[in-house]
A and B are shown apart, each in its own frame.
Chain A
Amino acid sequence: MRLFENITLAFQNIKANPLRSFLILSGVAVGIGAVLHVVVLGELTQKRINERLEQLGSDVLRIRPGYSWRHGVRTEARAVSLKWAEAKALAQQSQAIARTVPVYSGSGDISFLDKNWSTQVTGTTPDYESVNNESLVEGRFFNPTELSQRARVCVLGATVYQKLFKNESPIGKTVMIKSKPFRVIGLLAAKGESWSNPDDQVFIPLTTAQERLFGVDHLSSILAQMQSAEDYDESLFDIETLLRQSHRLPPKAENDFRVHRQDFFLAAIQETNKELAQFIIVIALVSLVVGGIGIANVMLISVTERTREIGIRRAIGAKKHHILIQFLTESMILGLLGGILGVGGGVVFNHFYIGEETLLPLVWVSYSFIICAGIGVLAGIYPAIRAANRDVIDALRYE
């Protein structure tokens, strides 16, 4: 009895009970589809995080306002102000910090002709472009002169551009930000979403943002670029010393600001994603086990239903291992069909859920088939042994 004949036989038997076979292999399909989805999603997120890491570099620290304590009560984070002067002082006084970029972000509407979009308006200095590794598709970033003149110029993020302009060039056009006219001088390249969308922003000089748009004198954050990533401890020390002094914090008080390393933040996202993926994989594995139990169940029913057939085959010369292999092949094929259905379903689901960026991880597709075939074989072992060990005479008499 050759493998090909066993496979043909397996398909005949699966075809004989199409609905039952489909319902059972769908259990395996759901499991393997979920595994594949997690893998694709994980790889995609990893790819985006890697891209962001490359853009950010590991040498940039972000200083944000923390909590302050007044009479033993913790206040809002926003209550603490970071100042541009502090950013300047840091760059001048710390040996470890190469330069600092002050940032003030607020939300605001931006419109062009009849199109309107609510976005994040970010005021900063020209250094932002190089510290944050921004690249421009068109035009330029604003210059020191425009910064000092509080110029009404802006650089659009990719999402804002898409919402307002579609395909025409935005350079030289006038847009309204918070009802004030700004000339578009640059368009940034898309960075892609991870958890937040960095492309949904419009950049203007910090002076313009603070004085003309928002009427504030504090910052949302300060980006501090270190001389090198190894200067982290020294940089942190300098930042703490300077800001604690500037904020006049008593020695035992907690910092009223927080310092994040950008890559640490992404690493945290990465860690969370991993944990999420592990969780989904556990669920998928449970589903696969349930699918396997389903296959075992169907195979047991099949062995009982086909007792007579087993008797006939044994009577005319089938050895025990022929019967064993026949039933194992059948359960393996049930598993494999579940795999094909799951991979197919996974690809279609990913296409609609993730979109065009969907990857087909061929290694995982082949793993999927191996896993499913393995589940089929495992699930089939007990029923197949039972089939092979049926007493020939009893099996022939079975009604």
Chain B
Amino acid sequence: MDGHLNPLIQMKAVTKTYQTGGAAVQALSEINLQVQKNEYVAIMGPSGSGKSTLMNIIGCLDTPSTGHYFLGEKDVQSLSDNQLSEIRNQEIGFVFQSFNLLPRVSALKNVELPLTYLGIAQPERLRRAAEALDSVGLSDRKQHRPNALSGGQRQRIAIARALVTQPALILADEPTGNLDSKTGEEIMALIQKLHEQGNTVIIVTHEQYIAEQAARVIRLLDGQIESDVSTKARGNRPNH
């Protein structure tokens, strides 16, 4: 996966250490990683392997303890809390396992929310939010509240919200984890479509069949990259 210029994500010797009950727990150690624009990457690993920590760092929800993480040109470690908020708002679209929608507002308002923090005027916000909902096939559910919709529809709202700011990266954490298999397939098809449209997608999953849809699978074990395999290579032998 090397040889590309200007990767979207570049991690150099990233470690993350947590203090729990006086003891230091190393969640990530010496992670070196590059993700290019328009890649479709799956991060896999068993529970406790550090995939959530890695996703939090990639999503700028957390910062590395040591090492460097560059998102585009920006060294994330040197950014202030406000700048991290701006990056999350403009560069990253999150899709969570539990949807993480605001229950008391409509689908349209949920999708509109990131644009609100971007300071865009309401008419433009509503237009773009409606457009994003259309693109995930929910044009007739705009005024429904999340709890009046099915799990699949809620996840589509979350995807529309992730898309609405046209981010550089879509980060999905177990996006089918709370869905039945048929709806899960629909959501994965939608994510696949987003990738085909030119979006960079990183998906965190512990399910093999989900990971297989990605062009590249990174396996984590005990906070380290165990394997990093592209689909082309997978046809031959895993690149351990």
B40 located at the interface, meaning its Cβ lies under 8 Å from any Cβ of chain A in the complex: no
Q: Flag if B81 contacts A315 (CB, 8 Å).
A: no
Q: Give how many A-B residue pairs fall within 8 Å (CB-CB).
A: 56
A313 located at the interface, meaning its Cβ lies under 8 Å from any Cβ of chain B in the complex: yes
A318 located at the interface, meaning its Cβ lies under 8 Å from any Cβ of chain B in the complex: yes
Q: Flag if B94 contacts A315 (CB, 8 Å).
A: yes
Complex CA gap A314/B88 in Å reads 9
Q: Which B residues are in CB contact (< 8 Å) with A318?
A: 85, 117
Q: Flag if A314 contacts B85 (CB, 8 Å).
A: yes
Complex CA gap A250/B152 in Å reads 107
Q: Flag if B117 contacts A319 (CB, 8 Å).
A: yes
A309 located at the interface, meaning its Cβ lies under 8 Å from any Cβ of chain B in the complex: yes
Looking at the complex, which one of B62, B116, B117 makes contact with A393 (CB distance below 8 Å)? B62
Q: Flag if B81 contacts A319 (CB, 8 Å).
A: yes
Q: Which A residues are in CB contact (< 8 Å) with B56?
A: 393
**In the complex, how many angstroms separate the beta carbon of A318 from the nearest chain B beta carbon?**
5
Q: A12-B105, A393-B61 are in contact. Are A315 and B117 (CB under 8 A)?
A: no
Q: Flag if B61 contacts A392 (CB, 8 Å).
A: yes
For chain B, the bracket of interface size reads: 20 to 34
Q: Flag if B61 contacts A1 (CB, 8 Å).
A: no
A322 located at the interface, meaning its Cβ lies under 8 Å from any Cβ of chain B in the complex: yes
Looking at the complex, which one of B81, B82, B88, B104 makes contact with A316 (CB distance below 8 Å)? B88
B75 located at the interface, meaning its Cβ lies under 8 Å from any Cβ of chain A in the complex: no
Q: A5-B116, A322-B117, A393-B62 are in contact. Are A315 and B104 (CB under 8 A)?
A: no
Query: Interface code B11-52, partner A: CB below 8 Å = 1, 0 otherwise?
Result: 000000000000000000000000000000000000000000
Q: Which of B40-96 contact A (CB under 8 A)?
A: 56, 59, 61-62, 81-82, 85-86, 88-90, 94, 96
Q: Flag if A396 contacts B100 (CB, 8 Å).
A: yes
Looking at the complex, which one of B81, B86, B96 makes contact with A317 (CB distance below 8 Å)? B86
Query: Interface code A287-326, partner B: CB below 8 Å = 1, 0 otherwise?
Result: 0000000000000000000001101111111111010000
Q: Flag if A316 contacts B114 (CB, 8 Å).
A: yes
Q: Flag if B105 contacts A315 (CB, 8 Å).
A: no
Q: Which A residues are in CB contact (< 8 Å) with B102?
A: 309, 312
Looking at the complex, which one of A16, A317, A320, A396 makes contact with B89 (CB distance below 8 Å)? A317
Closest to B118 in A: A317
Residue of A13, A316, A320, A393 with most partner-chain B CB within 10 A? A316
Other A-B pairs, 17, CB within 8 Å; known A5-B116, A312-B102, A319-B81: A1-B116, A12-B105, A16-B104, A311-B100, A312-B101, A313-B117, A314-B85, A316-B113, A317-B86, A317-B89, A317-B117, A317-B118, A317-B165, A319-B86, A320-B85, A393-B62, A396-B100
A-binding residues in B (CB < 8 A) = 56, 59, 61-62, 81-82, 85-86, 88-90, 94, 96, 100-102, 104-105, 113-114, 116-118, 161, 165
A-B complex: 3 closest residue pairs judged by Cβ atoms: A317-B89, A317-B117, A319-B85
B-binding residues in A (CB < 8 A) = 1, 5, 12-13, 16, 308-309, 311-320, 322, 392-393, 396
- A-B contacts, 22 listed (Cβ < 8 Å): A5-B116, A12-B105, A16-B104, A311-B100, A312-B100, A313-B117, A314-B85, A314-B88, A315-B59, A315-B61, A316-B88, A316-B113, A316-B117, A317-B85, A317-B88, A317-B114, A317-B118, A319-B85, A319-B117, A320-B82, A392-B61, A396-B100
